[in-house]
Amino acid sequence: MFSQTVEYALRAVVHLAAQAPTPQTTEQIANVTLVPRAYLSKVLQNLVRGEIVHSQRGLGGGMTLVKEPKDLTILEVVNAVEPIERIRTCPLGLAAHGTHLCPLHRRVDNAMAMVEKAFAGTTLAEVLADPSRSVPLCNFPGGKAKKKVAT
């Protein structure tokens, strides 16, 4: 449902939230989140432009969150890299439909509205505090990364 870019952005900001307020280099973030460094650099640039992450060059520099984890929602992160697109008019361009969506597209838009609401109501602090026992894909605080096995 969401692109790899969104997944990588979420991994990066969760890591930054867990390490706050200590700045993290792109290399550190890439190693922990298992995101390719070159791709991560582009994702982080989008997060800087979206005012989610602050970048500080030089000794002691790195990436930090602009807001406290308790004040930053998943929706803000998603919208900084690939905004959720709601269906406002007929995607097929049918003049007869206009802004009156057909039953299929109305349901798709309703689903997107539910995702938007869930993401708007979830902060990074809540994600970090979740007591889940599942093993995350990255080195989430308290978790172990799953290693890829060569086949």
CATH of 4-129, one of 1.10.10.10, 3.30.70.1280, 1.20.1050.10, 3.30.70.2700: 1.10.10.10
Query: How many other β-carbons are positioned within 10 Å of the β-carbon of residue 83?
Result: 11
Let me know: does 51 contact 79? Beta carbons within 8 Å. no
pTM of the predicted protein model: 0.81
Distances (CA, A) of 144 to 3, 84, 85, 138: 24, 31, 34, 7
pLDDT, tens digit (0-9, with 9 covering 90-100), for 63-76? 999 999 999 999 99
| CA–CA gap between residue 94 and residue 90 (Å, rounded) | 6
pLDDT, tens digit (0-9, with 9 covering 90-100), for 14-38? 999 999 899 999 999 999 999 999 9
